Amino acid sequence: MTSTTTGDTSAPPRRARLSDPGYQAFLVLRTAFTVAPVLFGLDKFANVLVDWPGYLAPWIDDVVPGSAQAAMYAVGVIEIVAGVVVAVAPRFGGWLVAGWLAGIIVNLLTIPGYYDIALRDFGLLLAAVALALLARGRHGDARS
């Protein structure tokens, strides 16, 4: 007589996934692109890390209503939402963060002296694309 338990059948695949370098890379990127946008988004309200309004290109400040700090509040909300989306739907969230970073890069390239930060953000954009592609390889499962 044989018996099966549902708890024992899921353990080996879970351990196998955790030993897969591709899955490990997925988890690292998913964690980074969940935590970083949320923390940076929250800091838009406190300006502890940096004076965020200084990173807003003057032409964008002229286009958006209100002050540069008010624009940073909106940016903060968007970044927090993006981090949450990465946490629950990394296949979509990776592309969302990549698109957001593309906008940030355009903003930074129009401010003299911020090219190094734009280059760094381009590397982050590529990492966000890698996250989206890895998530697709995991069938977009939020529990992956």
Best CA proximity match to 87, nearest among 22, 35, 43: 35
Q: Which residues contact 94 (CB under 8 A, 6 or more apart)?
A: 29, 33, 86, 128, 129, 130, 131, 132, 133, 134, 135
1-5, 34-38, 59-63, 120-124: which has the minimum mean pLDDT? 1-5
Please state, in angstroms and rounded to a whole number, the distance separating the CA atoms of residues 22 and 137: 10
- Binned at pLDDT 50, 70 and 90, residue 117 comes out as very high
Q: What is the pLDDT of residues 2-20, one digit of tens each?
A: 555 555 555 557 777 788 8
CA pair distance 144, 64, nearest whole angstrom? 39
Query: DSSP string covering the chain, please?
Result: -----HHHHHHHHHHHHHH-HHHHHHHHHHHHHHHHHHHHHHHHHH--SS-GGGGS-HHHHHHSSS-HHHHHHHHHHHHHHHHHHHHH-HHHHHHHHHHHHHHHHHHHHTSTT-HHHHHHHHHHHHHHHHHHHHHHHTTT-TT-
Would you tell me how many other CB atoms lie within 10 Å of the CB of residue 112? 6
Q: List pLDDT tens digits, range 25-53.
A: 999 999 999 999 999 999 999 999 999 99
